[in-house]
Amino acid sequence: PPSSGDDYLARLNPEQREAVETLDGPVLILAGAGTGKTRVLTTRFAHLLKTGRAWPGQVLAVTFTNKAAREMRERVSAILGQPAEGLWLGTFHSLCARMLRRHAELVGLTSAFTILDTDDQMRLLKQVMDAAGIDLKRWPAPGLMAQIQRWKDRGLTAERVTPAEDTDYAGGRARALYAAYQSRLRDLNCCDFGDLMLHMTEVFRGHPEVLADWNRRLRYILVDEYQDTNLVQYYWLRLLAQSHRNICCVGDDDQSIYSWRGAEIENILRFEKDFPNAKVVRLEANYRSTKPILAAAAHLIAHNAGRLGKTLRAGRKDAEGDKVRVVSLWDSEEEARMVGERIESARRNGHKLAEIAILVRAGFQTRAFEERLIVLGLPYRVVGGLKFYERAEIRDAMAYLRILAQPADDLAFERIVNTPKRGLGETAMRRMHELARAEGIPLVLAAERLVPSLTAKPRQALGALLQGIGRWREGLAKEGHVVVAATLLDESGYTDMWKADKSPEAPGRLENLKELIRALGEFESLAGFLEHVALVMENDENSEGDRLSLMTLHAAKGLEFDTVFLPGWEEGLFPHSRAMEEGGDKGVEEERRLAYVGITRARRHAIISTAANRRIYGNWSASIPSRFLDELPPDQIQREGSASMARARVAEMPSVFTGPSGLMARKPRVIEAGAWEAPVRPPPANPFKVGERVFHKKFGYGVVTAVDDNRVDVDFEKSDPKRVMDSFLERP
């Protein structure tokens, strides 16, 4: 329940209370997960207002997400007993954008400046590079963009970048291009995301009177999730706090998980250096989780070197609880089924869905769970991201597939005709539309007629697309939809577009595309798949109400749930291969911190799972259980699906290797990774029988006429006969 009235201090333990009541001077709260850091910060905010130390507009509070800002606002309001208005409360970016509107002219912008999205940023940079005569094939723009963002993260304007830093890119021209890009942005009265922080620190550095004004105005500074700040954010904070030094940062070095976005854990050390005599508060009692969960998290994170070191003990009164479960499963589908079943039974037992979360390492993993949840009718939301089939790259790929199935699908064609860029300008697009309207023909036909009249580049590119569409459509019958889908993503240049993109999100998008191909493999035909997706999307009502949460581990920072599912603990997925390749041991350590963040989100139940096989392009590939599983304390976890069981089952069921399902034709490798072998068994057979009466959510009642692996032919009473997924059927 939200705290209210004057008892808010009584709801703190002595150390927390001290942290709240030390209002003057620098304070650094370094403490483990669930020790009440965020609660302290919120209470401190309210306390400043309650005691009349500050007006609402005199406190600056930084949270990591907008959602966290909303929550903090609500809690502060609850303690105050009235809505808190006019607060400087938000993320670094939102706060900086607000400040910059007031000083835009000092960096050559007007207060109406536009913040560019990543697409526009890239377009602009390419123009700049083009104008400078850079060969974009040799020096792709995304590489330079990434470099510019890194410089911005470190507070470096083009002028501040030293020649030594300007190394191999385009023969040492990165700095000059950076400067040209900035001047272009200025001409257009625009800035990019990284500029928000950078411009404000430049304003403060160059205009002491402006800084002095802000120093007078914002008398207290509060920062949550401090371990994930980058250097420019640190400079900004230091400038804002330099005169009064009333700054309170809370963080946990073990939860630093954003180094890939420029976060610098060293900011914790910088703080103690730049703010000598800072009061360092340690909180040790965890009020969130049960003892087994804490023990599992502590044991795991102890495998990291170079930690600042903290003690964490259970502070809840009811800290006894179930052991952490580690469930070994056959494959990701079975994993999704297990999670779905447990959620269903939890709900039957009166648990709220809002108290349940599934935390994945990589975005593509949500698909299997989403589909399962829809089948079970369990409402969910994807926090900090989009549902799988709503993601831009999936929508694009789906548009390519739709145009194969349905040439008259103008919406689909419009989406892909210039994605990736084929040099079609506005005029060409307009002519295409006009022609289609005048003749009453689909856009794709209009495009065909238009091709000869285009200039060389778009003529060639559009021509290739149209030929491709014809070829891929023919391929459907010959090579099958899975191969065609993979081919078309390559041949159309779509995959390359994302490969060339150096933004941190791009690799995840490529993984999503692979997952899409996997999903296609679960269907007999393209039409069947498209129908399925339509069904999935339709299910997507926007109603509020009790929903469970699906999100990445990164998005889960700071949150808590009664029950947390942590699927996909396999080498390569978690720890993620990319993190290991790029970061080596450091990369693995960051992954381990991510695991620590994941486990410590749970209040009462943590269910980790690992699948022995993942299907790639219709083939099984064996996976090795995550090393993190070996790093959990054996006496605090309960394994389900043990190795001995796996062996017994293999012995009993030689049919596993020859099995009825075509997919099983390849013998699954038995995993030799110590204790964590998963049970080896065939996927369950289709439960439906010919002649049986069934119910389908969309098509109603019908009778089964044929069954195979996981598809069923049904003669529907009120609709044409169809082939549907068995998982969409129920027994009436």
**Could you tell me which stretch among 104-112, 335-343, 422-430, 558-566 binds Mg ion (CB under 5 A)?**
558-566
Reduced DSSP (H G I as helix, E B as strand, rest coil) percent helix, strand, coil of the chain, to 5? 50, 15, 30
DSSP string, 79-92: HHTS---S-EEE-H
Q: Lay out the site mask for ligand ATP across 226-265 (x = CB under 6 A, - = otherwise).
A: --------------------------x--x----------
**Could you tell me which stretch among 27-35, 368-376, 629-637, 659-667 binds ligand ATP (CB under 6 A)?**
27-35
Query: Counting contacts by CB under 6 A, is residue 33 touching ligand ATP?
Result: yes
Q: Least CB distance from residue 41 to ligand ATP, whole Å?
A: 8
DSSP string, 392-456: HHHHHHHHHHHHHH-TT-HHHHHHHTTSS-----HHHHHHHHHHHHHHT--HHHHHHHHGGGS-H
Query: Counting contacts by CB under 5 A, is residue 600 touching Mg ion?
Result: no
The token pair that represents 308 in the structure block: 């600042």
- Is 601 assigned a catalytic role? yes
Among 558, 568, 641, 702, binds Mg ion (CB under 5 A): 558
In angstroms, the first-to-last Cα distance of the chain is 42
Nearer to Mg ion among residue 38 and residue 495 (C-beta): 38
Q: Lay out the site mask for Mg ion across 685-704 (x = CB under 5 A, - = otherwise).
A: --------------------
- Is 722 assigned a catalytic role? no
Residue 92, classified by CB atoms within 10 Å of its CB into exposed (0-12), middle (13-18) or buried (19+), is buried
Spatial separation of the C-alpha atoms in residues 635 and 295, rounded to whole Å: 10
Cβ-proximal residue to ligand ATP, closest one: 36
**Could you tell me which stretch among 9-17, 165-173, 434-442, 567-575 binds ligand ATP (CB under 6 A)?**
9-17
Nearer to ligand ATP among residue 37 and residue 367 (C-beta): 37
Q: Is the peptide bond before 276 cis (omega within 30 degrees of 0)?
A: no
Q: Are 405 and 477 in contact (CB under 8 A)?
A: no
Residue 616, classed as helix, strand or coil, is: strand
Nearer to ligand ATP among residue 291 and residue 649 (C-beta): 291
Q: Answer with the entry of ligand ATP, Mg ion, none that 552 interacts with (C-beta below 5 to 8 A by kind).
A: none
**Could you tell me which stretch among 5-13, 54-62, 205-213, 511-519 binds ligand ATP (CB under 6 A)?**
5-13
Q: How far is CA 369 from CA 345, 542, 579, 711, in A?
A: 16, 18, 24, 19
Query: Counting contacts by CB under 6 A, is residue 39 touching ligand ATP?
Result: yes
The footprint of ligand ATP on residues 174-233 (CB under 6 A) is: none
Q: Is 36 annotated as belonging to a binding site?
A: yes
Any idea what DSSP says for residue 556? G
Q: Answer with the entry of Mg ion, ligand ATP, none that 16 interacts with (C-beta below 5 to 8 A by kind).
A: ligand ATP
Q: Answer with the entry of Mg ion, ligand ATP, none that 512 interacts with (C-beta below 5 to 8 A by kind).
A: none
Nearer to ligand ATP among residue 511 and residue 560 (C-beta): 560
Query: Counting contacts by CB under 6 A, is residue 512 touching ligand ATP?
Result: no
Q: Is 34 annotated as belonging to a binding site?
A: yes
Q: Lay out the site mask for ligand ATP across 556-595 (x = CB under 6 A, - = otherwise).
A: --x-x-----------------------------------
Residues 6+ apart with CB under 8 A from 606: 293, 296, 324, 325, 563, 564, 566, 599
Identify the active-site residue in 224, 355, 370, 515. 224
Q: Least CB distance from residue 605 to Mg ion, whole Å?
A: 20
Please report the sign of the dihedral spanned by the C-alpha atoms of residue 626, residue 632, residue 635, residue 637.
negative
Nearer to ligand ATP among residue 225 and residue 371 (C-beta): 225
Q: Is 33 annotated as belonging to a binding site?
A: yes
Residue pointed to by tokens 């087994």: 292
Identify the active-site residue in 16, 38, 157, 495. 38
640: which strand partners?
A: 327
- Is 366 assigned a catalytic role? no
Q: Is 32 annotated as belonging to a binding site?
A: yes
Q: Least CB distance from residue 281 to ligand ATP, whole Å?
A: 12
Among 8, 16, 268, 412, binds ligand ATP (CB under 6 A): 16
β-strand 247-251 against 27-31: which pairing, if any? parallel
Residue 563, classified by CB atoms within 10 Å of its CB into exposed (0-12), middle (13-18) or buried (19+), is buried
DSSP string, 672-715: -SGGGPPP--PPPPP---TT-EEEETTTEEEEEEEE-SSEEEEE
For 495-524, give the secondary structure using H, E and C.
HHHHHHCCCCCHHHHHHHHHHHHHHHHCCC
Total chain residues near Mg ion (CB under 5 A) = 3
Residues 6+ apart with CB under 8 A from 404: 469, 472, 473, 476, 484, 488, 526
Q: Residue 491: what are its φ and ψ, rounded to 5°?
A: -70, -30
Q: Answer with the entry of Mg ion, ligand ATP, none that 45 interacts with (C-beta below 5 to 8 A by kind).
A: none
Query: Counting contacts by CB under 5 A, is residue 38 touching Mg ion?
Result: yes
Please report the sign of the dihedral spanned by the C-alpha atoms of residue 169, residue 170, residue 176, residue 181.
negative
Query: Counting contacts by CB under 6 A, is residue 12 touching ligand ATP?
Result: yes
Residue 377, classed as helix, strand or coil, is: coil
β-strand 279-283 against 27-31: which pairing, if any? parallel
Nearest to 238 by CA among 191, 263, 273, 194: 273
Q: Least CB distance from residue 317 to Mg ion, whole Å?
A: 21
Identify the active-site residue in 157, 201, 255, 290. 255
Q: Least CB distance from residue 557 to ligand ATP, whole Å?
A: 7
Please report the sign of the dihedral spanned by the C-alpha atoms of residue 14, residue 15, residue 19, residue 24.
positive
Q: Least CB distance from residue 655 to Mg ion, whole Å?
A: 51
Query: Counting contacts by CB under 6 A, is residue 281 touching ligand ATP?
Result: no
Among 8, 15, 20, 37, binds ligand ATP (CB under 6 A): 37
Query: Counting contacts by CB under 6 A, is residue 598 touching ligand ATP?
Result: no
Q: Least CB distance from residue 36 to ligand ATP, whole Å?
A: 3
| Chain residues that interact with Mg ion, rule: CB under 5 A | 37-38, 558
Catalytic center residues: 37-38, 224-225, 255, 601
Residue numbering of the annotated binding site for ATP: 31-38
| Chain residues that interact with ligand ATP, rule: CB under 6 A | 11-13, 16, 31, 33-39, 252, 255, 287-288, 558, 560, 600
